[in-house]
């Protein structure tokens, strides 16, 4: 396209987008119950790192609020976890040029002395590149692992690129590195690093491991291309701690027929500590809770709907595992989870759902702009264990993830990032689905 | 517009914008001299806080690079300043809810003990509100000053809203406050605070003064609306220091007729320390320097063009004042400055410029999409003193400032924010103007 044509079209395009944004604002004047739950939770509890006193306070908050909203059997169900306690995080590129880097420790990072550790940097453009490095080749060095994750609507890049964070530190440690820094697993270009948990392999001792923001990683990549020797000074004083308190909060809307296996709808209450835990996952808790209540507005549902606000999801779905163990004897029929931000639902997937129920759901969701997707529904980390244990039917209401990894696990996970109109579309979609499944007296699980 | 129509149009709009963005990327494959100067300066010197060793190193870098580029009479001209040395900056809202806030000390902030200061927060929605507060009413308190600065193309909001930062701390201190926090003077919604200098009034002792990011200010504003008591803990350990070294770098492209008063084109070399000083003002130095060299490609100009990379602009245009004093006896004809980012030039203004020269410039700029603006040109902080001292002609090539206050004085002032196509449009505009004024043998200053 010619620049002049581009300019004219871009102006028209910008106008359309601004009109549409204004439209969304108008719609949001009455922000509704989901917004209220999300705002109150995240403002009144702040960050809710798994195992922290703030997560515990948030459980108390949740119990109080869910009771006030009319839920029954509201319970705080404690369990203990291996957690991570943040210390001071800082990093400097000290050679060839001085740059203070925006860094965060990753969850379960090793601990540096207060004065930090320093080393020459070995640059790896990909996870495969560090995998291919010879054994012991990183002895005394700090590894830097780059990658090229891009935004996409279904968030599927998080699987492969997320491995840079999950596996990269263990690979570096096994080859002798004294520290490891990765490009954040994120798609924004702000000076905010993305945290998240590491999976250390058995037999490998944790080393200090952090993520720098994308603009900081760009500096490192530029200098790497110059071939000049890079040195990094890394201070990450946090530590891993055993036997920290976490817990789930559960709350029921009892059905008219207690003999029917229940429906469980989940989110997670814990968050990473850099932001406010709004899109991850205060919004999810708000969506599932507001939708369940909306269903009950039309009268008591046939089946019980249980809401699970899980703890310690961010450290490996620990709340979901605790739930499945504690509630193994209660019959469940169907599980759903909301844990992918607050942008609009654009497709629906089913696993083991009775076909006639799936057809009703497809019809109900079509006016909301939601189309069927042929892939399998997998629920999510908070319901994964109970799904597997009881072979449940699963429905995924897949949200638009284009912006999700701009914000996920960063300081930027704050209220202003939520579009009230899209949040409400989520509630509408969840309400439509829950109405159908909670009034279905026949089998929900396909034979 | 109906939501469905909006969705369809928005999709089309997004496609146009992405095609145009791709087009801009293609154009930038050969990024040109301005990009190279900007990239090398900001990667190889990093932040360049006025008075710091990094600013001094950047002057050395500038001298070396300007000589290598073929400039004559390249000089590092030192002067001393009252500077600000950053310490540790942190803040917590401790009541009614715990939130760690993203804060930066403002330049010339007072100093807290290492353990910080704590106090009840008094919320002021505007600068006028704190002006109206009774004398001594803030004794022992921490003042929070909010405001509603919005993005606009000409950046004119920075005048009135910038006063929240420049004057707000002095007003709070005069009324007995032990600390002051402001909403950042910025238009983004990222967790990056904006720094900048304070003007303490005579007779008022500095108190600790910081700015929080917009999302953090949103939290404070929400809690203020609830009427609950807020307490803040504030740690800002930086300090003001006298007699710090700064300096200007000047470099000439000598003209064929040394008897003609010269043209001075300026930018500033110093930056705030949170980012890399790219849009403020590495880009400006790159633009004026690349354009001057481009003019000389066509042969030695008639008039001398002097490039001024000023020091300590961020602390009140100190380099510009030092330049005017040091070069008072050299005759100048015309001054221009680039210090408003790297987005496209959209209008041109003149002050005291000979009318026939202005007409030639308007004609030359029209194909670049640049229109005349009836307002007066004022140059900028780095040329203001010499303009006033010698009553110079001035031309402003006004850049699009819509995005500028998203980035200005923040950690986010990094290379990735510059659009190479818009940077090049700046160089093209500057080249067109400099060609005309540097070949004009008649008076540049209107009689």
Among the partner residues A1, A23, A190, nearest to B19 by beta-carbon distance: A1
Which tokens hold the place of B315? Answer: 């602390």
**Lowest mean pLDDT across A276-290, B17-31, B246-260, B345-359:** B17-31
Cβ-Cβ contacts under 8 Å, B221 against chain A: none
Are B17 and A39 a contacting pair at CB < 8 A?
Answer: no
Best mutation site among B58, B414, B425, B428 for testing chain A: the one with the most A CBs within 10 Å? B414
The rounded distance, in Å, linking the Cα atoms of B80 and B83 is 9
Q: Where are the alpha helices (DSSP H) in B69-213?
A: 127-132, 158-166, 168-174
Q: Does residue B15 register a pLDDT over 50? A: no
Which tokens hold the place of B324? Answer: 């005017």
Positions of E strands within A209-359: 209-212, 231-236, 239-253, 262-268, 305-310, 332-337, 345-351
- CB distance A110 to A205 below 8 Å: yes
Are A19 and B1 a contacting pair at CB < 8 A?
Answer: yes
Best mutation site among B43, B101, B403 for testing chain A: the one with the most A CBs within 10 Å? B43
Q: Which residue of A has its CA nearest to B18?
A: A10
Residue of higher predicted confidence among B216 and A26: B216
Regarding whether B104 and B45 lie in a shared domain, the answer is: no
Give the per-residue pLDDT at B30: 58
Regarding whether B174 and B99 lie in a shared domain, the answer is: yes
Regarding whether B39 and B121 lie in a shared domain, the answer is: no
Structure letter (DSSP) for residue A277? -
Burial category of A373 from C-beta neighbours within 10 Å (exposed 0-12, middle 13-18, buried 19 and up): middle
The rounded distance, in Å, linking the Cα atoms of A352 and A378 is 10
Q: Which residue of B has its CA nearest to A368?
A: B4
Among the partner residues A47, A218, A417, nearest to B416 by beta-carbon distance: A218
Tell me how far CA of residue B399 lies from CA of B25, B151, B339, B412, B425, in angstroms: 20, 14, 9, 19, 10
Among the partner residues A10, A23, A275, nearest to B16 by beta-carbon distance: A10
DSSP string spanning B257-293? -TTSPEEEEEEE----SSS--IIIIIHHHHHHHHHHH
Among the partner residues A7, A27, A414, nearest to B215 by beta-carbon distance: A414
Which tokens hold the place of B16? Answer: 């146009």
Interchain contact A21–B (C-beta under 8 A): no
Cβ-Cβ contacts under 8 Å, A219 against chain B: 43, 276, 414
Tell me how far CA of residue A187 lies from CA of A128, A418, B95, in angstroms: 20, 17, 34
Burial category of A150 from C-beta neighbours within 10 Å (exposed 0-12, middle 13-18, buried 19 and up): exposed
Answer whether residue A16 is part of any domain: no
**3 state SS of A83:** strand
Cβ-Cβ contacts under 8 Å, B417 against chain A: 189
Task: Indicate the helix (H) or strand (E) that contains B249.
Answer: strand B239-253
Interchain contact B42–A (C-beta under 8 A): no
The rounded distance, in Å, linking the Cα atoms of A270 and B103 is 24
Q: Which of B83, B410, B159 is nearest to B274 (CA)?
A: B410
> Which residues of B, range 204-233, sit inside 8 Å of A by Cβ?
214-215, 218-219, 222-223
* Residue A98, CA atoms < 13 Å, CB-side half-sphere: 12
Q: Does residue B208 register a pLDDT over 70? A: yes
Which tokens hold the place of B314? Answer: 């961020």
Give the per-residue pLDDT at B14: 41
Among the partner residues A13, A97, A411, nearest to B191 by beta-carbon distance: A411
- CB distance A303 to A261 below 8 Å: yes
The rounded distance, in Å, linking the Cα atoms of B421 and A54 is 47
Which tokens hold the place of A76? Answer: 């705080």
For chain A, 447 residues long, the average pLDDT of each consecutive 10-residue run is: 41 40 40 96 98 98 98 98 98 98 98 98 98 98 97 94 98 98 98 98 98 98 97 98 98 97 98 98 98 95 98 98 98 98 98 98 98 97 98 98 98 98 98 97 94
Answer whether residue A193 is part of any domain: yes
Are B222 and A43 a contacting pair at CB < 8 A?
Answer: yes
Among the partner residues B1, B16, B276, nearest to A20 by beta-carbon distance: B1
Beta bridge partners of B99: B93
Interchain contact B38–A (C-beta under 8 A): no
Are B9 and A23 a contacting pair at CB < 8 A?
Answer: no
- Which backbone phi and psi does B122 adopt, to 5 degrees? -110, 120
Question: Rounded mean pLDDT of B106-126?
Answer: 98
Q: Which of B208, B89, B238 is nearest to B144 (CA)?
A: B208
- CB distance B379 to B339 below 8 Å: no
Residue B66's domain spans which residues? Answer: 30-84+242-438
Regarding whether B295 and B231 lie in a shared domain, the answer is: no
Q: What is the mean pLDDT of chain B?
A: 94
Are A417 and B16 a contacting pair at CB < 8 A?
Answer: no
Regarding whether A162 and A263 lie in a shared domain, the answer is: no
DSSP string spanning A182-199? EE-S----SS-----B--
Are A416 and B222 a contacting pair at CB < 8 A?
Answer: no
Question: Rounded mean pLDDT of B260-286?
Answer: 98
Q: Which residue of A has its CA nearest to B21?
A: A6
Closest Cα in chain A, distance from residue B191 (Å) = 5
Interchain contact B88–A (C-beta under 8 A): no
* Cβ-based neighbour number of residue B33 at 10 Å: 16
Closest Cα in chain B, distance from residue A216 (Å) = 9
Are A46 and B99 a contacting pair at CB < 8 A?
Answer: yes
Among the partner residues A16, A222, A415, nearest to B218 by beta-carbon distance: A415
Q: Which residue of A has its CA nearest to B43?
A: A219
Tell me how far CA of residue B85 lies from CA of B46, B88, B194, B319, in angstroms: 16, 10, 16, 18
Answer whether residue B68 is part of any domain: yes
Total residue length of chain A: 447
Sheet with B332-337, edge to edge strand ranges: B72-85, B239-253, B305-310, B262-268, B332-337, B393-399, B345-351, B371-372
Q: Does residue B379 register a pLDDT over 50? A: yes
Regarding whether A103 and A49 lie in a shared domain, the answer is: no
The rounded distance, in Å, linking the Cα atoms of B47 and B272 is 7
- CB distance A276 to A415 below 8 Å: yes
Express each pLDDT in B303-328 by its tens digit: 999 999 999 999 999 999 999 999 99
The rounded distance, in Å, linking the Cα atoms of B372 and B363 is 10
The count of structural domains within chain A is: 2
Q: Does residue B116 register a pLDDT over 50? A: yes
> Which residues of B, range 181-200, sit inside 8 Å of A by Cβ?
189-192
Angle between helices A283-297 and A420-438 (to 10 degrees): 50
Answer whether residue B443 is part of any domain: no
Answer whether residue B20 is part of any domain: no
Residue with tokens 């500033």: B268
Are A23 and B7 a contacting pair at CB < 8 A?
Answer: no
Q: Does residue B232 register a pLDDT over 50? A: yes
CATH code of the domain in which A355 resides = 3.40.630.10
Cβ-Cβ contacts under 8 Å, A9 against chain B: 16, 20
Select from B207, B237, B267 the last residue of a domain.
B237
Among the partner residues A17, A43, A98, nearest to B13 by beta-carbon distance: A17
Interchain contact A40–B (C-beta under 8 A): no
**3 state SS of B76:** strand
Answer whether residue B191 is part of any domain: yes
Answer whether residue B6 is part of any domain: no
The rounded distance, in Å, linking the Cα atoms of A285 and A279 is 10
Select from B191, B217, B237 the last residue of a domain.
B237
Residue with tokens 């520290």: A179
What is the number of CB-based contacts under 8 A between chain A and chain B? 126
Which tokens hold the place of A336? Answer: 């759903």
Angle between helices A32-45 and A283-297 (to 10 degrees): 140
Regarding whether A414 and A280 lie in a shared domain, the answer is: yes
The rounded distance, in Å, linking the Cα atoms of B109 and B178 is 12
Best mutation site among A21, A24, A191 for testing chain B: the one with the most B CBs within 10 Å? A191
CATH code of the domain in which A127 resides = 3.50.30.30
Regarding whether B91 and B70 lie in a shared domain, the answer is: no
Question: Rounded mean pLDDT of B169-195?
Answer: 98
Closest Cα in chain A, distance from residue B2 (Å) = 8
Are A100 and B23 a contacting pair at CB < 8 A?
Answer: no
Cβ-Cβ contacts under 8 Å, A14 against chain B: 13, 17
Answer whether residue A133 is part of any domain: yes
Give the per-residue pLDDT at B53: 98
SS (H, E, C) A198-241: CCCCCCCCCCCEEEECHHHHHHHHHHHHHCCCCEEEEEECCEEE
> Which residues of B, range 97-136, sit inside 8 Å of A by Cβ?
97-100, 102
* Predicted complex ipTM: 0.90
Regarding whether B394 and B290 lie in a shared domain, the answer is: yes
Regarding whether A320 and A204 lie in a shared domain, the answer is: no
Regarding whether B366 and B250 lie in a shared domain, the answer is: yes
Regarding whether B286 and B422 lie in a shared domain, the answer is: yes
Best mutation site among A215, A367, A413, A416 for testing chain B: the one with the most B CBs within 10 Å? A215
Select from A237, A270, A302 the last residue of a domain.
A237
Best mutation site among A14, A346, A400, A411 for testing chain B: the one with the most B CBs within 10 Å? A411
């Amino acid at each position: 396209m010619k620049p002049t044509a581009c300019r004219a079209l871009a102006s028209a395009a910008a106008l359309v987008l601004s009109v549409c944004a204004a439209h969304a604002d108008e719609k949001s004047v009455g922000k509704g119950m989901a917004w209220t739950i999300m705002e109150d939770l995240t403002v009144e509890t702040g960050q809710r790192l798994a195992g922290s006193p703030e997560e515990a306070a948030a459980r108390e908050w949740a119990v109080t609020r869910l009771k006030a909203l009319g839920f029954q059997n509201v319970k705080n169900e404690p369990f203990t976890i291996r957690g991570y306690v943040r210390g001071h995080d800082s990093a400097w590129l000290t050679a060839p040029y001085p740059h203070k880097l925006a860094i965060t420790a990753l969850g379960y990072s090793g601990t540096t002395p207060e004065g930090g550790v320093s080393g020459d940097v070995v640059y790896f453009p990909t996870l495969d590149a560090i995998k291919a490095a010879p054994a012991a080749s990183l002895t005394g060095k700090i590894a830097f692992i780059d990658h090229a994750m891009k935004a996409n609507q279904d968030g599927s890049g998080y699987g492969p690129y997320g491995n840079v964070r999950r596996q990269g530190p263990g690979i570096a440690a096994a080859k002798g590195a004294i520290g490891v820094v990765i490009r954040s697993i994120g798609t924004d270009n702000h000076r905010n690093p993305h945290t998240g948990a590491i999976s250390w392999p058995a037999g490998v001792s944790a080393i200090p491991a952090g993520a720098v923001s994308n603009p900081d990683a760009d500096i490192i990549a530029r200098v790497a291309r110059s071939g000049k020797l890079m040195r990094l000074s890394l201070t990450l004083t946090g530590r891993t701690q055993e036997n920290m308190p976490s817990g789930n909060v559960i709350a029921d809307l009892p059905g008219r027929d207690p003999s029917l296996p229940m429906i469980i709808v989940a989110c997670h209450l814990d968050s990473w500590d850099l932001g406010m835990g709004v899109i991850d996952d205060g919004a999810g808790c708000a969506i599932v809770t507001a939708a369940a209540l909306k269903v009950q507005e039309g009268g008591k549902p046939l089946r019980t709907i249980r809401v699970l606000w899980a703890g310690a999801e961010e450290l490996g779905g620990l709340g979901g595992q605790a739930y499945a163990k504690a509630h193994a004897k209660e019959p469940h029929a169907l599980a759903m989870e909301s844990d992918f931000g607050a942008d609009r639902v654009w497709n629906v997937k089913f696993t083991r759902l009775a076909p006639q129920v799936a057809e009703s759901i497809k019809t109900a969701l079509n006016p909301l702009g939601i189309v069927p997707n042929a892939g399998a529904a997998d629920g999510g980390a908070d319901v994964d264990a109970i799904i597997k244990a009881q072979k449940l039917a699963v429905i995924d209401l897949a949200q638009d993830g284009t912006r999700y990894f701009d914000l996920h696990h960063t300081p930027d996970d704050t209220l202003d990032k939520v579009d009230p109109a899209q949040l409400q579309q989520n509630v509408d979609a969840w309400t439509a689905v829950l109405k159908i499944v909670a009034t279905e007296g026949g089998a929900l699980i396909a034979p």
